[in-house]
Structure 1
Amino acid sequence: MKVLLIDDHPLILSALKSVIQGLGDDLEVVGVGSAAEARATLALDPDYDLALLDLQLGDANGFDLLTELRRAYPALPVVIVSASDRASDVIRSIDLGAMGFVPKRSSTEMLFEALRLVMSGGIYVPPMAMGLESAEEAAEQDALRTVTHEAVHSAYQSTPGLATLGLTPRQTDVLALLLQGKPNKLIARELNLSVETVKDHVAAVLRALGVNSRTQAVLAVSQMTQGNASPGWKRSGQ
């Protein structure tokens, strides 16, 4: 398994590399200090299984690079590792396609949990009680608190956790595609439904989750899955 670390701070890059290598003996970890190096590295070898990206880079805006990576390498999961823990940054990162967000002040165990969840197909977000700086962000937090935090399968199939939300089988299908970031038109095409019908299903899903947007839905379901992710890899010595 190959992991690309993108951080312009040499000490943090070195520390992250040591931590990630501690997850398993079969890991190849490559660290780069800029967006330009990241582009060059992926151009030479796009066969990476995971990328960890800092939002503050000397030669690029991290959000812009995240968007660029998701467009150029859609199969590459990207996890944000940032000094920020603002809810707005978490939400924006997930909205742009990140599969996880880990504040740099998090414990090593939290990083392990996040990477295991991402590599098993889930989305990791930190506890959303931290870093709220505005009424709008507080509203995001209040919406997320209304969700029942029960474990669901990382593939977002029909499980007792989702069953408690009262979703129909078709609404569960729509949720699964919504969590993949697919727009309504593509969901309609894949499920052979009209766009208007998909809109109705999306609205029903958001109501069931107690949230107001697609991004909030992703965050809410990711919170539900965190306790039930099957470990994709073990730490060395385990």
Structure 2
Amino acid sequence: MKVLLIDDHPLILAALQSVILGLGDHVRVTAADSGRAAREALQNDPAHQLVLLDLQLGDADGFDLLVEFRTRYPGLPIVVISASDRTSDVIRAIDLGAMGFVPKRASNETLFEALQQVLSGGVYVPPMNMGDAQGWTVDAATAANVQQHALAAGYQTAPSLEELSLTPRQTDVLNLLLKGQPNKLIARELGLSVETVKDHVAAVLRALGVNSRTQAVIAVSQILRRQGGMVDAALAFR
């Protein structure tokens, strides 16, 4: 497996490389200390299978690079590694197509868990206060449940997967939604009309107490972590 590390701090690159190499003997690591170097690395070898991207680079904005790479290499998983752990940055990164977001203050074990989860097809986000993101709304019933199940660590969680009470078809739609598929592709894969898929997506969002697909991905990731850590989201619903 080929992994591209993008960070303009040599010490961070060295630390990341040590964690990445722990994924197995089959791992090959390429380091890039700038946006330009990262572009060249992917152009020279588009067979990279994972990218770890810092948001603050000397010559480029990490969010801009995220958009660029997701457009040029749509099948390439990208995990953001950032000194920021603001909820707004997490949501923006996931909304732009990142498969994970790991704060730099996280432990090596957390980073390792996050990378394994992403490589298994899941999405990793750090524990967050589910109510402090701009535009994040939670209905009254879910808010009451969140308060009841608040964790001692100081952040709040959504109901468990079982408590969502999704129908089998809604579960199918959620599995594909978590993979980033748009409504048209979901409809094609499940043999449904686009309007029916929209209805199922709306029902899933209501069950999660959120109001966007991005928030749904983050909410499910939070639930899976609370229920047992590294879990492939799609497998968890089978």
Once residues 19 and 195 of structure 1 are traced to their aligned partners in structure 2, the CA distance between those partners, rounded to angstroms, is: 42
- Provide the rounded CA distance (Å) in 2 between the counterparts of 1:212 and 1:129: 16
CA shift at 1:22, angstroms? 3.0
Matches within 5 A, 1:69-84: 69-84=69-84
Q: 5+ unaligned residues in a row in structure 2: which ranges? A: 147-155, 233-238
Cα distance in 1 between the residues matched to 2:49 and 2:183: 28
Q: 1:208 to 1:139 in 2, by over 3 A?
A: closer
Equivalence for 1:198: 197
Count of residue pairs brought into register by the alignment: 216
Q: Output the CA distance in 1 between the equivalents of 2:79 and 2:50.
A: 8
- Asked if structure 2 preserves the Cα contact closer than 8 Å seen for 1:120 and 1:229, the reply is no
Question: What is the aligned partner in structure 2 of residue 235 from structure 1?
Answer: none
The answer to whether 1:38 aligns with 2:49 is no
Aligned to 1:218: 217
Separation in 1 of the partners of 2:74 and 2:224? Answer: 22
Amino acid across the alignment from 2:100: G
Structure 1 unaligned residues grouped into runs of 5+ = 150-160, 232-238
7-16 or 212-221, which deviates more: 7-16
Listed one character per residue, the Cα deviations across residues 113-144 of structure 1 (whole Å, up to 9, x for unaligned) are 111111111110001039x8x6737757x868
Counting only pairs closer than 5 Å after superposition, residues 174-193 of structure 1 correspond to structure 2 as 174-193=173-192
2:88: which partner in 1? 88
Identical-pair percentage = 68
Q: Are positions 1:229 and 2:226 aligned together?
A: no
CA offset digits 1:17-67 (Å, max 9, x no partner): 122223322221111111111111111111112110000111211111111
Other-structure match for 1:147: 158
AA paired with 1:175? L
Provide the residue aligned with 2:169 in structure 1: 170
1:202 Cα offset (Å)? 0.7
Matched, 1:20 2:31: no
Bigger Cα displacement from structure 2, 220-229 vs 171-180: 220-229
- Give the whole-Å Cα distance in 1 for the aligned partners of 2:231 and 2:134: 34
Give the letter aligned to residue 87 of structure 2: A
Distance 1:229 1:129 in 2: 20
1:102-141 alignment runs, 5 A limit: 102-129=102-129, 136=134
Q: CA deviation at 1:69?
A: 1.0
Greater relative CO (CA pairs within 8 A, separation 6+): 1
Partner of 2:235: none
Code of the aligned partner of 2:55: L
Whole-angstrom distance in 1 between the partners of 2:231 and 2:5? 24
Counterpart amino acid of 1:39?
A: R
Superposition CA RMSD, Å: 2.3
Residues 161-220 of structure 1 deviation map (CA, whole Å, 9 limit, x = unaligned): 4x4421111111111121122222232232232222111111100111121211110001
TM-score w.r.t. length of structure 2: 0.82
Q: Normalising by structure 1, report the TM-score.
A: 0.82
Is the alpha carbon distance of 1:215 and 1:147 closer, same or farther for their aligned partners in structure 2, counting shifts above 3 Å? same
Aligned partners of 1:6 and 1:51 also within 8 Å:
yes
For 1:153, the equivalent position in structure 2 comes to none
